[in-house]
Amino acid sequence: MPAIRHASKRKPPPEGFSDIEDDLLIFANKMKDAQNKPSPAGPKHQAQWEVFQIAHQRSRYVYDLYYKKEAISKPLYDWLLKNGYADAMLIAKWKKQGYEKLCCLRCIQTKETNFNSTCICRIPRAQMKEGQDIQCFSCGCRGCASSD
């Protein structure tokens, strides 16, 4: 008896996948490299920043292809979400006003931070002092307010 495999794994991806296959592979390789990289010398939490960044970029890529460029079909988009090529939760946030550029879900969770407020990267640049440079703790975001 053959090994039981998930249906979606067995079925070939929907049409149009070949158009984006190469770029998805590049993302996958980048992600692998980032994970296998020895941790940088800096603080420990920074080790995951690059992974967050690539995940963000890839989600954005899929999001743009479907919503902004109408380049991929609904079945393909759904398939990509199902297979983890994009973060459906994050994309759901991007559709909301004020969250169009949100970097990651952690940055809007108030519980995890120690002063019960969203991350500093959510503060619009216009409200920062000139030249003030920030980088957030959770994902290394340098600012993701919609108005930036």
Partner 1 sequence: MLKSTYQRADAAAPEALPPGWTEHKAPTGHTYYYNASTKESTYKRPSAQPEAPSIVPTYGPNLSDPSVANAYVAQFNPPPAQQSHRGGFGAGRGGRGGYEGRPKPAPIDKPVKKEPIPGHEPWILVYTKYSRRFVYNPVKKTSFWRIPEKLMPGILELDKERIRRKSGNETDPKSAEPETAEAEEATVQRKEETPTAAPEAYDSSEYEEVEVTDDEDEEGHASKRQRTDDAAPEEEEEPVEFTEADIAAQLQAMGTDYGLEPGDYDDGNMADWPEGAEGVEFSEEDAKLLFKDLLDDFRINPFSPWEKLIEEGRIIEDQRYTALPTTRARKECWDEWSREKIAAQKEQRAKQEKKDPRIAYMALLQEKATPKLYWPEFKRKYKKEPPMKDLNLSDKDREKAYRDLVNRLKTSQATRKTELTTMLKSLPLHVLNNRSLADGLPTQLLVDPRYAALEPSIRDGLIEAYVQGLPPPPDNVEDAKAASDEREKREKRTKALEERNRVIDEEKRQRERDIARGKARLRDGERDIEMAMAVDKTGLRRQLEDAA
* Contacts to partner 1 by CB under 8 A: 19-20, 22-23, 26, 57, 60-61, 64-65, 68-71, 113-115, 117, 119-120, 123, 127-130, 132, 134-138
Q: Which is nearer to partner 1, 81 or 122 (CB)?
A: 122
* Residue 135 binding result from Zn ion, partner 1, none, given CB thresholds of 5 to 8 Å by partner type: partner 1
- Residues contacting residue 138 through CB under 8 Å, at least 6 positions apart: 45, 52, 104, 106, 107, 112, 119
Closer residue to Zn ion in complex, CB, 81/144: 144
DSSP secondary structure letters along 30-72 = HHHHHHHSPPPSS-GGGGGHHHHHHHHHHHHHHHIIIIIS--S
Query: What is the smallest separation between the CB atom of 136 and Zn ion, expressed in angstroms?
Result: 5
The closest of 42, 44, 147 to 102, measured between CA atoms, is 147
Shorter beta-carbon distance to Zn ion: residue 20 or 107: 107
CB of 23 to partner 1, least distance (A): 5
Query: What minimum distance in Å lies between the beta carbon of 21 and partner 1?
Result: 9
Match 């890839």 to its residue by tokens.
Answer: 58
